[in-house]
Amino acid sequence: NRWIGQYAPMYFGITVTDVGDPKALVDVLSRVHPTFFVAVPMLWYKIRARIEALITERAGPAGALARWALTAGKKKAAATLAGGRLGLLDEAAAAVADVLVLSKIRLRLGLDQLTAAVSGAAPIDVSVLEFMLAIGVPVLEAWGMSETSAVTTVNPTERIKLGTVGKPIPGTQIKLDSDGEILVRGCGVMRGYHRDPDRTADILDVNGWVHTGDIGSLDAEGYLRIVDRKKELIINSGGKNMSPSNIEGALKAASSLIGAVAAIGDNRPHIAALITLDPDAAAEFAHRHGLRDTAIAELVDNEAIQRTVSEAVTLAN
């Protein structure tokens, strides 16, 4: 937080807007119109949910136009990710969709001035990145840790690869240890923990490599894919290694109603998940469906909410 919210802004002369209540962040965006925005996956999930709500609210011809525009945007996003180009008609449709609908959505949400949008701190579901690109907001997934000055890898704007956290930033090297653990070395690596040589020795080896504790893989182009924390991988009764973070991310992305998720399945034949409701989304759901009691304790037993969450789990599976 200090790197992104204090040190970098001081060095580059960036104006920072502080938000006292995290719940108000999406609303503050529409007033501030940031040029640079870094958010954790949950906030991107909320932004997508807000956009979907805006489109759903539109009825008649306006609603049909909004849905058509989103479809046109998704076609363009798919072509961009594949490294190809649309045909003339689809390219023209995407341009019209952006002028008539998508640019207005970005303006309304305060995302119209962005030069860079980044997601980090936890894995984000690819479907959310695809959706944001479709409305004209390419979100760059990044990865790093405090010991490596916050950012170690990031997707390049000119060639985004969804499902990866991109390539090492200049001055940084990464490699994989024999067990797949990601090692980092470079000018951004810490000298050590303050007055704690024992902890320093546990993470920083004599050759200057930080042992991150994350398991990953590198593709032929040097893009890094994060599997999960070394100590958090789920190994089921069949011996299959699975990432709880990816499972939890897929569930959160499937419905705005889903808040916190904990996937469980070590030494079991199947994966189970403990799911809690997102308080804001649950209250909005209650209001939209005319439910009088908006207390979470009551809403968890509501049949409509249980059905919606169940459908989201099926979708995530």
Give CA angle at 39 (279, 4), nearest 5°: 135
The pLDDT of residue 289 is: 87
The pLDDT of residue 204 is: 97
Q: What is the pLDDT of residues 73-114, one digit of tens each?
A: 999 999 999 988 899 999 999 999 999 999 999 999 999 999
The pLDDT of residue 122 is: 87
Domains defined for the chain, CATH in brackets: 2-134 (no CATH), 167-229 (2.30.38.10), 234-316 (3.30.300)
Which two tokens mark 162?
């969804």
Average of pLDDT values for 67-72? 96
Long-range (24+ apart) CB contacts under 8 A made by 148-153 are 148/172, 148/184, 148/186, 148/188, 148/189, 148/190, 148/210, 148/212, 149/3, 149/188, 149/189, 149/190, 150/3, 150/4, 151/3, 151/120, 151/188, 152/184, 152/188, 153/224
Which two tokens mark 297?
């304790």
Cα gap 73→77, rounded to integer Å: 6
The pLDDT of residue 241 is: 83
pLDDT class for 5, splitting at 50, 70, 90? confident
Yes or no: say if 192 and 202 are a contact pair by the CB < 8 Å rule.
Answer: no
The pTM (predicted TM-score) of the whole model is 0.85
Q: Which residues contact 266 (CB under 8 A, 6 or more apart)?
A: 234, 235, 236
- Could you tell me what percent of the chain has a pLDDT over 70? 100
Q: What is the pLDDT of residues 204-214, one digit of tens each?
A: 999 999 999 99
The pLDDT of residue 245 is: 87
Which two tokens mark 195?
């007055």
Average of pLDDT values for 21-41? 91
Beta bridge partners of 116: 36
Distances (CA, A) of 296 to 176, 247, 262: 44, 24, 18
Q: What is the pLDDT of residues 36-52, one digit of tens each?
A: 999 999 999 999 999 99
The pLDDT of residue 171 is: 95
Give 147's Cβ-side CA count (13 Å radius). 19
Is the confidence at residue 1, as pLDDT, over 80? Answer: no
Q: Which residues contact 86 (CB under 8 A, 6 or more apart)?
A: 75, 76, 79, 94
Task: Tell me which residue of 186, 39, 185, 189 sits closest to 114, measured CA to CA.
Answer: 39
Yes or no: say if 142 and 118 are a contact pair by the CB < 8 Å rule.
Answer: yes
Q: What is the pLDDT of residues 237-291, one digit of tens each?
A: 788 888 898 899 899 999 999 999 999 988 889 899 999 999 988 988 998 888 8
